[in-house]
Amino acid sequence: MTIVGIAGDIRDWSWSESEDGYLYLPYLQNPSPLMRLVLRTNGDPSALSGAVQKTLHAIDPNQPVTDILTMDQVLDRALSERKLSMFLLAVFAAVATLLAALGIYGVVAYGVAQRTHEIGIRMALGAQRANVLGMILRDGAQLAAVGLLIGISGSLLTMRFLESQLYGVKASDPLTIVAVAVGLAVITVAACYPPARRATKVDPLVALRYE
């Protein structure tokens, strides 16, 4: 065989497979019952489907032409199963995040209720509302920091499995880890703020009599 050019590695069947080297052979040397014709266009590719069919039928009227798709449609078909899995995973992640936020809110609110007497003493001794607000938020931030540390450590330990479920993104991608950490920190602060805000409105005289 005569080598006439060198082509890049490709993924032939799915996005999850590794890029491998392929040989492109002339049809007369390596005939196949399945043929694909790929056209590059400058305009809307779907508008050329009729012209392509007429041209092929003019060459061979008995040649069937089926499954005419744009490259975007080919990609959507190839990724449809993965998109469904990612959508379901995103829904479950959103529900888990909501439950986590509600859990943090409940824990912080319970902690504020338990510390009402302490908060009243602090305010009676001159603590400002901003000090009380910061104290409650710091407690929530510490919970978030512990959770993030455990979560990031767990993701690093399961890196090989996670990378098998991703395409084009590494499990140890710093940007992804930072974005998730910032997002969870914002959610934690949002969940802690209502009970912290309520703690700043505690009347010191009422709190000192609180049991």
Residue 100: partners with Cβ closer than 8 Å, 6 or more residues away: 187
* % the chain with pLDDT above 70: 86
For the entire predicted model, the pTM comes to 0.60
Return the higher-pLDDT residue of 171 and 132.
Answer: 132
CA distances from 146 to 28, 135, 141, 150 (A): 65, 17, 9, 6
159 φ/ψ angles, rounded to the nearest 5 degrees: -60, -45
CA distances from 147 to 58, 97, 141, 154, 195 (A): 67, 12, 10, 10, 20
Please say if the pLDDT value at position 166 is more than 70. Answer: no
pLDDT digits (tens, 9 = 90+) for 7-40: 888 877 666 666 677 888 888 888 888 788 888 8
Please say if the pLDDT value at position 207 is more than 60. Answer: no
Tokens 């910032």 -> residue? 182
Per-residue confidence band for 92, with pLDDT thresholds at 50, 70 and 90? very high
* Mean pLDDT, the chain, whole residue set: 80
Please say if the pLDDT value at position 91 is more than 90. Answer: yes
Residue 59 to residue 64: CA distance in whole angstroms: 12
Per-residue confidence band for 111, with pLDDT thresholds at 50, 70 and 90? confident
CA distances from 172 to 81, 90, 159, 160 (A): 24, 19, 7, 10
Mean pLDDT, to the nearest integer, of 54-68?
A: 86
Nearest of 131, 132, 127, 101 to residue 199 by alpha carbon: 132
Return the higher-pLDDT residue of 50 and 119.
Answer: 50
**Furthest-apart CA pair in the chain: how many Å?**
96
Tokens 């959103």 -> residue? 94
